[in-house]
């Protein structure tokens, strides 16, 4: 009874071990097949050359102002006796726009001129000098009865008419100089070191459908400022020369300051660029399926691409893979990852399981092959 039970237990152990060995063998075969499939896939993998446009810019937004602006105000009280312009008129510097009643000022100046004439006849030299200085003040008072343009511009607003009575500091209109538009925009402190006077600025106006308007950086201060939100910024002055007439002062815009000109880059996957004898190359796949080897100069661009700077390669070219793609986070290629899995299987086989005759460590209860150290398996009955 004891011998039969021992024989039955031996058969059960042998069957279990044989099953495990068959499973291990099947797994190893599957891994080898997978490795072969991956190798074939890598050989057939292709990559397409792409072109990327790189912009080095600072984004901005704001509102534009006229080059210059004059608010037309009366210097004193009085009745309007003449109006020489209307809204929308172009005027030159020094043009008289409006005249207030200056009867009193004209009389005072005329009487003063008479006093000067008398002083020249019978007065002292000192008295004549004082009267001459006083005359300058009277002339200024009469000039203040006029509103005059301080620069060349356009009457943007005007509301006075002959007969109106104005008090000192009353506003009757505005002149603007539209020879150029300017704006003060905020640039964050991290972008401030990139600024230079003369840099190109591109602006887009929601109220203007004629495309992008170009300008340039005029200046920026040597000291920053802090916004109400607590952000550190630099206020940059930009300018737009000869703006379209439809773009008016205080129109809003968005734009960008160009730090360096746009650059077009040719990019290819790292796996498409090979190296041999210190020379980089790619293999272009032609329409007939043949390949052409092309020497290139390339440099890393990010973690997955190479920037091709020299070589007969163009956007849309299809390149043959020169290496297996990398697996994210492992630092190894996809094929290497498969090999790692295979190595683990081999280690498992060497740690206690081997097929008969494989030279492994042997399995208790089974006859080892050449080099095996396991005991013999009882004959099955």
Range of the domain at 223: 60-66+180-263
Asked if residue 73 is part of any domain, the answer here is yes
**Predicted pLDDT of residue 375:** 42
Largest CA-CA distance found in the chain, in angstroms, rounded: 166
Number of domains forming the structure of the chain: 4
Of 130, 159, 174, the last residue of a domain is 174
Shared domain for 338 and 361, answered yes or no, is yes
Residues 6+ apart with CB under 8 A from 204: 212, 213, 253, 254, 255
* Within a domain: 2: yes
pLDDT tier for residue 121 given thresholds of 50, 70 and 90: confident
Residue 185: which CATH number?
2.40.30.170
Asked if residue 69 has pLDDT above 90, the reply is yes
Sort residue 7 into left (φ over 0), alpha (ψ -120 to 50) or beta. Answer: alpha
Whether 247 and 277 map to the same domain: the answer is: no
Q: At what angle do helices 2-44 and 334-350 cross, to 10 degrees?
A: 160
48 within 8 A of 318, measured Cβ to Cβ: yes
Instruction: State yes or no: pLDDT of 368 exceeds 60.
Output: no
In a shared domain, residues 364 and 280: no
Q: Are β-strands 213-219 and 90-91 bridged in parallel, bridged antiparallel, or unpaired?
A: unpaired
Report yes or no on 40 lying in a domain: no
Tokens 């399995």 correspond to what residue? 363
3-state secondary structure 71-118: EEECCCCEEEEEECCCCCCEECCCCEEEEECCHHHHHHHHHHHHHHHH
Considering just the CA atoms, what is the radius of gyration of the chain in Å? Answer: 46
CA 293 to the chain's CA centroid: 37
* 81 and 170 share one domain: yes
Counting every residue written for the chain, the total comes to 381
Q: What is the average pLDDT across 332-359?
A: 37
Element (H, E) at 298: strand 291-301
Is 149 inside any structural domain? yes
Please report where in the chains the tokens 């013999």 appear, as a residue: 376
Alpha helices in 295-379 (DSSP H): 334-350
Joined tokens for residue 353:
């399981």
pLDDT band at 124 (very low <50, low <70, confident <90, very high): confident
CA angle 296, 300, 301 (to 5 degrees): 115
In the predicted model, what is the mean pLDDT of residues 174-191? 95
CA quadruple 6, 8, 11, 17: dihedral sign: negative
165 and 83 in a common domain: yes
Q: Is residue 332 part of a domain?
A: yes
Structural contact between residues 324 and 310, judged by C-beta atoms closer than 8 angstroms: no
- pTM for this structure? 0.59
Position 44 in a domain: no
21, 355 Cβ separation under 8 angstroms: yes
The reply to whether 291 falls in a domain is yes
Q: Are residues 188 and 156 in the same domain?
A: no
Q: How much is the mean pLDDT over the chain?
A: 82
CATH number at residue 96: 2.40.50.100
**pLDDT for res 347:** 37
Closest CA to 345 of 39, 32, 36, 41: 32
Residues 167 and 185 in one domain: no
Instruction: pLDDT band for 358, please (50, 70, 90 cuts).
Output: very low
Angstrom distance (rounded) from CA 39 to CA 342: 14
Within 10 angstroms of residue 14's Cβ, the number of other Cβ atoms is: 16
Residue with tokens 């992008």: 212
Q: Specify the pairing of strand 153-158 against strand 165-166.
A: unpaired
| pLDDT reported for residue 164 | 95
pLDDT over 80 at 7, yes or no: no
| CB < 8 Å & 24+ apart, contacts of 337-345 | 338/31, 338/34, 338/35, 338/38, 339/35, 341/31, 342/28, 342/31, 342/32, 342/35, 345/24, 345/27, 345/28, 345/31
Same domain, 240 and 202: yes
């Amino acid at each position: 009874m004891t011998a039969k039970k021992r024989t039955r237990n031996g058969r059960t152990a042998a069957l279990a071990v044989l099953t495990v060995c068959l499973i291990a063998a099947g797994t190893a075969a599957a891994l080898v097949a997978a490795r072969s499939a991956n190798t074939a896939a890598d050989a057939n993998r292709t990559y397409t050359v792409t072109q990327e446009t790189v912009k080095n810019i600072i984004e901005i937004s704001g509102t534009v102002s006229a080059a210059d602006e004059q608010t037309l105000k009366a210097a004193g009280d009085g009745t309007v006796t003449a109006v020489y312009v209307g809204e929308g008129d172009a005027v030159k510097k020094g043009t008289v726009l409006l005249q207030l009643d200056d009867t009193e000022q004209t009389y005072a100046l005329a009487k003063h001129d008479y006093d000067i004439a008398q002083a020249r006849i019978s007065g002292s030299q000192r008295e004549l000098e004082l009267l001459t200085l006083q005359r300058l003040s009277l002339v200024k008072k009469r000039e203040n009865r006029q509103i005059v343009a301080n620069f060349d511009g356009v009457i943007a607003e005007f509301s006075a008419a002959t007969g109106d009575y104005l008090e000192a500091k009353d506003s009757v209109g505005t002149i603007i100089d539209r020879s150029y538009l300017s704006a003060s925009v905020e640039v964050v402190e991290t972008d401030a070191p990139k600024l230079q006077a003369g840099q190109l600025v591109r602006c887009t106006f929601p109220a203007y459908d004629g495309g992008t308007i170009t300008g340039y950086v005029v200046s920026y201060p040597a000291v920053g400022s802090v916004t109400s939100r607590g952000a550190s910024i630099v206020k940059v002055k930009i300018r737009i020369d000869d703006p379209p007439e439809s773009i008016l002062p205080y129109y809003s815009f968005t734009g960008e300051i160009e730090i360096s000109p746009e650059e077009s880059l040719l990019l290819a996957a790292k796996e498409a660029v090979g190296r041999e004898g210190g020379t980089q190359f790619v293999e272009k796949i032609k329409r007939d399926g043949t390949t052409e080897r092309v020497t290139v100069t390339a440099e890393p661009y990010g973690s997955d691409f190479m920037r091709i700077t020299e070589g007969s390669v163009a956007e849309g070219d299809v390149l043959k893979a020169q290496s297996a793609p990398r697996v994210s986070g492992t630092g190894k290629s996809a094929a290497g990852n498969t090999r790692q899995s295979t190595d683990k299987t081999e280690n498992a086989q060497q740690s206690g399981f081997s097929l008969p005759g494989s030279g492994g460590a042997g399995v208790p209860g089974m006859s080892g092959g050449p080099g095996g150290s396991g005991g013999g398996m009882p004959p099955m009955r």
